[in-house]
Structure 1
Amino acid sequence: MVAVREVSLAGYLDRQQIVRSSEDYRLTVSEDDWWGEPLGGMLTRVLVQALAQRLPRSSVIGADTAIRVTPDATVEISIQRLDANREGGVILVAQIAVGHRNGRQDPMVRAFTTSVPPDGSDMRAYVAAASVAVGQLADAAASQLQAQGREADT
């Protein structure tokens, strides 16, 4: 059983409007395009689903839901950046912490960074690129879970 804790966000991302860029000490926010739900909760939900697909032999749940279990592993993700760079590529910078009940006392923390170029300049392309970046984050978290799970078993 893997429990994913609520994703934490850099303060500038914690808003309904979609942040397009934070380059050059300037925040560019879309006034007309909003996330369909609070970004932290949406990312947590999406990462739970993505990890369940990547770890088919494990049950993956959101740790902050009504379901109460003692997980074998926990995943915590802190997103420091999720916006476009000067070239228009969506940058995702995060930290992933994975802890195992049978392993180390302190979770292992790893940095994660990716850049995904959008297929166009419109909002649809931007959101699609952000989705690919979140998928890559899920890949990294799944790999970290599997690697640390093997360490905890030895």
Structure 2
Amino acid sequence: MRRRGLLAALALGACARSPEPRLFTLAPLPGEARPGGPRTIELRRPGLAGYLDRPEIVRAAGPYQVGLAGAERWAEPFADMLGRVLAENLTQRLPGSTVFTEAGGLSADADGVVELDVQRFDADAAGRVTLLAQVAVRRGSGRREGTRTRSLRLSLPAAGDGTPAMVAAMSAALAQLADAVAGMLRGG
């Protein structure tokens, strides 16, 4: 009995010393609003490289190495957050279009579908954020009718040191991705 009490006290002491997690979220950013997109757009749940599919914030730590940002975590599952923020960005850029996510509570027949595969989305040791993604946009009712694909590599420097500056640069990269996707949805 005594041993269990000692183990419980040690476990509680270890928990008391662990730092509180700092939670971060990507934010939508405004862009050029231009009509001409499909009336309804379904944004499918983004595919993620395995190393990004975790609650911890990932940074490049050196050649062939990534690191986790300790107690700094995403406030929601990363793929869900990417989809939510990209949908908000697209809604702002495509007035007259209704954008909904596959992961959300709505389902409807969509006039346009966006699929996204994120292969890289992190910051290097110097704080430069890189977003590498493949995008497929379909307009029309046929499975292959009007499908356009594009590979995008976006790279932006963070405006300062630390995680808040990195997350701001990631939000800016996601806004640039939304600009490109909106153009594809308009037929450009």
Query: Taking structure 1 as the reference length, what is the TM-score of the superposition?
Result: 0.90
Distance 1:87 1:80 in 2: 20
Question: How far apart are the structure 1 equivalents of 2:107 and 2:67?
Answer: 40
Could you tell me which of 154, 162, 173 is aligned with 1:122?
162
Q: Which residue of 2 aligns with 1:90?
A: 129
CA distance in 2, matches of 1:144, 1:130: 21
Tell me, which stretches of 5 or more residues in structure 2 are unaligned?
1-39
1:29 pairs, out of 68, 91, 95, with: 68
Q: In the alignment, residue 75 of structure 1 is paired with which amino acid? A: V
Pick the structure with greater CA Rg: 2
Paired residues for 1:2-151 under 5 Å: 2-21=41-60, 23-102=62-141, 105=144, 107-147=147-187
Structure 1 residue ranges without an equivalent (≥5): 149-154
RMSD: 1.6
Shift of 1:125: 0.4
- Following TM superposition, by how much is the alpha carbon of 1:101 offset from its aligned partner in structure 2, in angstroms? 1.9
Aligned residues of 1:20 and 1:28 also touching (Cα < 8 A): yes
Output the CA distance in 2 between the equivalents of 1:66 and 1:113.
31
- Is this contact kept in 1: 2:41–2:97, CA < 8 A? yes
SS in 1 for 2:110: coil
Q: Which amino acid aligns with 1:67?
A: L
Residue 86 of structure 1: how far off its partner (Å): 4.5
Identity among equivalent positions (%) equals 41
Structure-1 separation of matches of 2:117 and 2:92:
21
State the SS of the aligned residue for 2:63.
helix
Please state whether the residue corresponding to 2:108 is helix, strand or coil.
Answer: coil
Deviations 1:96-127 (A, max 9, x none): 11011256716321001111101111111011
Q: Displacement of 1:63 after TM fit? A: 2.4
Query: How far apart, CA to CA, are the structure 1 residues paired with 2:106 and 2:64?
Result: 42
- For this pair of structures, how many residues does the alignment match? 148
Q: Deviations over 1:65-109 (max 9, x none)?
A: 331211000001110001113532100000111011256716321
Amino acid corresponding to residue 148 of structure 2 in structure 1: M
